[in-house]
A = this chain, B = another copy of it.
Amino acid sequence: MNVFSSEPVSAALIERAGAALAAESARFASRGWMPGTAGNLSVTLARDPLRLAVTASGLDKGELTSSDIVIVDEDGAGVIGEGGSEQRPSAEAGLHARIAAKAGAGAAIHVHALAAVTAAHVWPGGVVLRDLEMLKGIGHSAHGQDVVIPVVDNSQDMVALGDAFEAVYRPASPNSRDVPALIVAGHGIYAWGADLREARWHLEIIEGLLQIALATRR
Contacts and interface: CB of A to CB of B under 8 A. Distances in A.
A167 interface: no
A188 interface: yes
A36 B180 CA distance: 13
Interface in A111-149: 112, 114, 117-118, 121-122, 131-134, 137, 142-143
Interface stretch (A4-12, A64-72, A202-210): A202-210
A211 to B, nearest CB: 6
Interface in A68-121: 112, 114, 117-118, 121
A212 B142 contact: no
A16 interface: no
A60 interface: yes
Contacts of A184: 133
A38 B201 CA distance: 9
B204 A118 contact: no
This protein's copies in its complex: 4
Contacts of A134: 35-36, 38, 112
A35 B205 contact: yes
19 contacts: A32-B204, A35-B134, A35-B201, A35-B207, A36-B201, A36-B205, A38-B133, A38-B134, A38-B137, A38-B208, A112-B208, A114-B215, A117-B215, A117-B216, A118-B212, A118-B216, A131-B154, A132-B187, A133-B186
The 5 A-B residue pairs with the shortest CB-CB distance, nearest first, are: A35-B204, A133-B187, A36-B201, A36-B137, A121-B216
